[in-house]
Amino acid sequence: MSHYRNPHPGARVVLVAAMASGQGKTTVTAALARRLVRMGKRVRVFKCGPDFIDPLLLERACGSPVYNLDLWMVGVDECRRRLGEAAREADAILVEGVMGLYDGSPSAADLAREFGIPVLAVLDASAMAQTAGAVAQGLRDYGPVQMAGVVANRIASPGHAAMVKASLRDIPLIGSLPRQDKRLPERHLGLVVPGEVEKVEELLDAMADQIEFDDTAWDALPLLPPTPVQPASQALRPLAGRTIAIARDAAFVFVYPANAELLQQMGARLVYFAPLDDEPVPRDADAVYLPGGYPELHCPALQAAKQWRASLRDAQARGVPIVAECGGMMAIADGLTDKQGQRWQMAGLLPGEVVMQPRISGLGLHAMPTAQGELRGHTFHYSLMHSDLQPQGHTVKQNGSQGEAIYHRGALTASYFHAYFPSNPEAVAAMFLGQAR
């Protein structure tokens, strides 16, 4: 009897998009991912564009790390490699879009067309019925894009679903989801991170139970073929033998999985510590990474974390390279004034004051110029940094205008800019070796 197995044929793949933000893309993607997992399928999920929070929830829904896809920040070749690898391992691939389908440059539609991914349109049908068909056809034809089908969100009744389905004409209704009694909570930077949501697993299971799903329409979708296994390259390991300590708790949560992965590929050993528990920087750390997050929500704990703050100042005095991004930079300023106007003492590595703002203060894709070339990433913050320290430079927005200040103080690099490390590994190595200028 032969034990020969046919090679994996690939994965069904869709890009989950909508006409605008707030239509329920993340809810539908999470519900669909959990539903497919419970059907016994191997599911991989990606997030289109720069985003930290949605991937955390989607990772809980599918059980695998969620990587970002973006034609500009991640690059076409790296996006193709990630998708091809996923198609080798998975039966289903869901790519959650960003904003509206055609919003931004590059847009989610651009990504779908680049890789031939059909679009699954999420329509908030709570205040419409037959007009859903016009919206779906407009989303399909404007680009155009290949339309896999529609998931109607916030459906009131079976009769309502039937009206929506009839209006779609030649576009299949692949699924529908009723109005949710309990929604995923949000705050100023997006959804609340999963660790803060009570009974998040029960919530995901409930959404998976509630989504009406057409298995036949799903099985009719084309397969994304897997890419051949690439031989392991003998990559440079400029961080070999070095230990990088990464802050990780509810105040420091915004790390791209690809960033941590790259540091390890470059030879670094990663260790984690929790500032909110007043854990000091490990003494054997050769470098420190303070990623973004929500320090503004944890000011009392950060002010009280005297051991953590002292260990950071000691690391800086010893010349240990420190990379502080957005929330990480906020936490090492002299002080942080919250939205209620109360000032809190921070670590004091970077002279200056951070003040929370009522509206968004920075948003968009940026590139940071370095001696090794540009390092790409994005910015998204609701605070302003006031410092007498002269910036060493600024990031550059996609339109070519001046972006975020970049501060260097000894071996410290600090900015509101969130870097996507794989866009320039050499520049990243220089930062963690204290050679960035």
Q: For strand 350-356 and strand 333-337, is the pairing parallel, antiparallel, or unpaired?
A: parallel
Q: How far is CA 28 from the centre of its chain?
A: 17
Residue 326 appears among annotated catalytic residues: yes
Q: How far is CA 212 from the centre of its chain?
A: 27
Q: Count CB-CB contacts under 10 A for residue 141.
A: 10
* Whole-angstrom distance, CA of residue 151 vs CA of residue 76: 28
Closest by Cα among 324, 299, 325 to 380: 325
Crossing angle for the helix pair 200-210 and 25-38, to the nearest 10 degrees: 80
3 state SS of 315:
helix
Give burial (CB, 10 Å; 0-12/13-18/19+) of 39.
Answer: middle
First CA to last CA across the chain, in angstroms? 64
* Whole-angstrom distance, CA of residue 417 vs CA of residue 256: 13
Question: CA-CA distances (angstroms) from residue 112 to 25, 48, 126, 221, 275?
Answer: 16, 10, 27, 14, 40
- Which residue reads 């990630």 in tokens? 82
- Which residue reads 């390991």 in tokens? 237
Q: For strand 383-386 and strand 350-356, is the pairing parallel, antiparallel, or unpaired?
A: antiparallel
Marked catalytic residue, from 48, 62, 299, 326: 326
Q: Do the beta carbons of residue 177 and residue 155 sit within 8 Å?
A: yes
What letters, b where the CB count within 10 A reaches 16 and e where it falls short, cover 185-206? Answer: eeeebbbbbbeebeebeebbbe
* Whole-angstrom distance, CA of residue 202 vs CA of residue 169: 35
Closest by Cα among 413, 391, 390 to 404: 391
Active site residues: 326
